[in-house]
Amino acid sequence: MAGALNSRLDALRIVTTDGILGDMATQVTVTTGSRLHFGPLAPAGSSGGKFGGVGMMISAPGVIVTARSAEREGISGEDASRSRVAQLVSRIRETMGNAAAPCEIELRETIPSHSGLGSGTQLGLAVARALSELAGERDVPVETLARRSGRGLRSAIGLHGFGRGGFLVDGGRADQRHPFGTLVARYEVPSEWRLVLASPGQSQGLSGADEQRAFAAQRPMPVELTGELCRIALMDWLPALVEADFARFSAATFEFGVRVGQFFSAAQGGVFAHQRMALLVEQLRARGVQGVAQTSWGPTIATLCASQNEAAELASDLTGDPNWSDTTFRVVEPLNRGATVAVE
């Protein structure tokens, strides 16, 4: 009995996305967090790197995907994501050729779609990683996973976040020779800091064709604004992170988010994409909270807190306030590592 248990434990290994695995896998579980995207640095800029941006990874919500070797294909789990995964699997198999064997995929946990948390990228990369492990591929670069799943073509924050976690600065891509934005800075976020996510019910941010039209209609970002955003990132945000200066980091988060929101206000209907979230930001700022920002096109906003107790108190107060009965609040942690892969 003990020998059988030890053999089973020996067959189960948990590694990060940087790990190198050995034997052929029969079951793989990939677990990711979510990504926050505070905004781009130069969308459709006139020169230099395009897009770029600043963001970070958080512990939840997340994606948990299990893939098992099988005689025939199968996808189980959340109905809303099953067709999306079926399309992903088809695309990934085309790029892998004969390397991809039949498997059953179980969606054990997913990120809400179109909420500003990078659900598509994390799901796509997780499925691509699971299929590569089942095919016997080891240590596949995250850029390869992104190509197979068709992710990271505009922002690379979610791509690099899947690989390494932490607080990330994407320097953009200068030309087609480099299809993904270059990671120019990555730092760990103090583990005691927390974030409170606020998401209004029955509301989604721009995505798909609507997002493409919004970018196509958006005027080029003035070089002066790009310069100001880079100044905030380089001279305030990153030094505050290195020094674990919570107040300075919070102030930079809000300033960056507001400037980006002003630039995209015509596309999203204001500095914040959802009027209810704009009112919530006003209430939080009046309460003395400094670090509040929308993630991507929203509608989710993230509020920085210096500790678990502070975050729990804030979330409890807002949840108990009848004015916010239509909004979900969740306390999450920074995620300073890449996705994990359990191989059996």
Q: Give the helix/strand (H/E) hosting 83.
A: helix 79-96
Bridge partners (DSSP) of residue 67 are 28, 105
Number of domains in the chain: 1
Cα gap 105→14, rounded to integer Å: 19
Q: Position 103: which residue type?
A: C
Question: Phi and psi of 137, rounded to 5°?
Answer: -80, 135
Domain holding 17, by residue range, is 2-343
Give, for all 344 residues of the chain, the pLDDT tens digit.
Answer: 434 333 332 333 444 444 444 456 789 999 999 999 999 998 765 556 678 999 999 999 999 999 998 888 889 987 778 888 999 998 998 888 766 678 899 999 999 988 999 999 999 999 999 999 998 888 899 999 999 999 877 789 999 999 999 999 999 887 767 778 899 999 999 999 999 999 997 765 545 565 566 556 667 889 999 999 999 999 999 999 999 999 999 999 999 999 999 999 988 889 999 999 999 999 999 999 999 999 999 899 999 999 999 999 999 999 999 999 999 999 999 999 999 999 98
Looking at residue 156, the DSSP 8-state letter turns out to be: -
Contact 203, 299 (CB under 8 A): yes
Give one word for 343, left, alpha or beta, with left for phi > 0 and alpha for psi -120 to 50. beta
User: Which residues, at least 6 apart from 2, have a Cβ–Cβ distance to it below 8 Å?
Assistant: none
Write the DSSP assignment of 194-216 as a string of letters.
Answer: EEEEEEETT-----HHHHHHHHH
Give CA–CA dist 73/201, Å, rounded.
35
At residue 155's C-alpha, the angle toward residues 152 and 159, to 5°, is: 45
The enclosing domain of 315 has a CATH number of 3.30.230.120
**Sheet order of strands, 292-294 included:** 292-294, 301-305, 194-200, 327-332
Terminus-to-terminus CA distance in the chain, angstroms? 19
> Residue 115 is which amino acid?
S
